[in-house]
Chain A
Amino acid sequence: MPGLLFLAAMGGLYAALYYFNHKTPIPAGCEVEEVSCHGCSISSCGKHPSQNYTLEVKQ
């Protein structure tokens, strides 16, 4: 029981901080720009650069 209460308190703390962070406005000029994809390990992603390479090889 004390463990569950403690876990609930920690979860509540995270939820509260997430909410306040979400409400905090991003400073002017710091809007997140779309990051161009350089390719991660998820090669099945449609934006993965290797997709275009695969098409070129097949052609």
Chain B
Amino acid sequence: MAELFTLFITAVLINNIVLTRFLGLCPFMGVSRKTSSALGMGGAVTFVIFGASMFTYALYHLVLNKYGLQYMDLITFILVIASFVQFTEMIIKKYSPALYKSLGVFLPLITTNCAVLYVALDNIKQGFDLIETIVYSLAVPIGFTLVLYLFSAIRERLDLSDVPAPFKGNAIAMVVAAIMALAFGGLAGLV
């Protein structure tokens, strides 16, 4: 239990997918102007990463590993993630228009999010069992959502601040992201 908790905290804070691993930067920069859209994106990413990780984990251990096709993990996982996002969008369109209205626009963006593929591959590379995969696959997108929300809150305030003209927009956002990365780097000795 302690190991699972350590794994969770490590994935959320210390080895944060955005500020430490520098993955998922496209949605991090592009969907962080408002806290509402940041939360929506975070929720969608959480769902896709968890679902795709479960599918890819099962596929790897039940098919690829069993038939000696481990070398095909990369291309297979890409196709699984893309298929899962298409399936999810289709189900949401049909059965939950309200959910589609809030999250639907984000789903195509998540298909190409490298963080999703990273989690799927890392579950295999780290040799996690099923429980560890579940914990890790939940912790990483929770860390992503946390950082995205914090970043969006800062950017909302920056938009109202007197930022020098050359730094307006993405430039000051990059500076803020760098400072946040330094701050999260200070958590390295926590666990």
What is A's interface to B at a CB cutoff of 8 Å? 2-3, 6-7, 10-11, 13-14, 17-18, 20-21, 24-30, 32, 35, 38-41, 49-50, 53
Contacts and interface: CB of A to CB of B under 8 A. Distances in A.
A38 B83 contact: no
Interface residues of B, number: 29
Contacts of B170: 39-41
Majority secondary structure of chain B interface residues (helix, strand, loop or mixed): helix
Given A13-B79, A32-B105, A53-B165, 11 more contacts: A3-B72, A7-B72, A13-B83, A17-B83, A24-B94, A26-B100, A27-B93, A27-B100, A40-B26, A40-B30, A41-B170
Interface of B: 26, 29-30, 33, 63, 67, 69, 71-72, 75-76, 79-80, 82-83, 86-87, 89-90, 93-94, 97, 100-101, 104-105, 165, 169-170
A14 B86 contact: yes
Contacts of B69: 2-3, 6
Nearest to A19: B86
B83 A29 contact: no
A7 B93 contact: no
A14 B93 contact: no
